[in-house]
């Protein structure tokens, strides 16, 4: 982005309420940079960069681990959903709210999108269970259709 304003700050995950519901704890920091402006094609938007180590609960071991998140995306401002088709490749749409743009909400949205659906701590091995053989030997029952083998049809 060129011709715009920039901001580089640090947020605490506890201030991001929607994100906090997915975290195991709300300690830590989210470092981010926002560059607002227009690109060479006249597209207004914001370049979002954020990084954090978010505490998640592993769904295999139930241990809390720090999940590294890095966000680097360009968001193009649109007024209506139909305007999305006019964005060049490399841009994600950001529908502007008439009440204004809250930078913390933009960062929170991008961090939520970066979270895994099922958090798994790196190095955690899949649990292997031994299952007893489900096949049980049964007595051989006579086949009711065996008589058809011997029958002759005319």
Domain boundaries, given as residue ranges, for the chain: 6-124
Sheet of 92-95: strand order equals 6-11, 30-38, 44-57, 64-78, 92-95
Residues 45-77 have pLDDT tens digits of: 999 999 999 999 999 999 999 999 999 999 999
Nearest Cα to 8, choosing from 49, 69, 38? 49
Over range 89-117, report the average pLDDT: 92
pLDDT at 138: 63
The per-residue pLDDT of the chain, averaged, comes to: 85
Whether 2 shows a pLDDT value over 60: the answer reads no
Report the predicted TM-score, pTM, of the whole model to 2 decimal places: 0.72
According to DSSP, the β-strands at 92-95 and 64-78 are parallel
Q: Give the bridge partners for 56, in sequence order.
A: 65
**Hey, what are 21's tokens?**
């519901």
């Amino acid at each position: 982005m060129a011709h715009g304003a920039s901001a580089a700050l640090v947020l605490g995950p506890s201030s991001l309420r929607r994100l906090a519901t997915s975290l195991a704890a709300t300690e830590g920091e989210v470092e981010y940079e926002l560059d607002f402006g227009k690109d060479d094609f006249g597209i207004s938007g914001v370049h979002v960069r954020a990084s954090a180590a978010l505490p998640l609960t592993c769904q295999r071991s139930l241990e809390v681990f720090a999940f590294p998140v890095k966000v680097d995306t360009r968001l193009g401002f649109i007024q209506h959903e139909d305007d999305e088709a006019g964005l060049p490749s490399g841009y994600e749409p950001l529908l502007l709210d008439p009440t204004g743009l809250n930078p913390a909400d933009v960062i929170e949205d991008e961090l939520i999108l970066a979270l895994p659906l099922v958090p798994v701590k790196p190095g955690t091995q899949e649990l292997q269970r031994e299952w007893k053989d489900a096949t049980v030997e049964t007595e051989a029952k006579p086949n009711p259709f065996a008589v058809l083998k011997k029958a002759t049809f005319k």
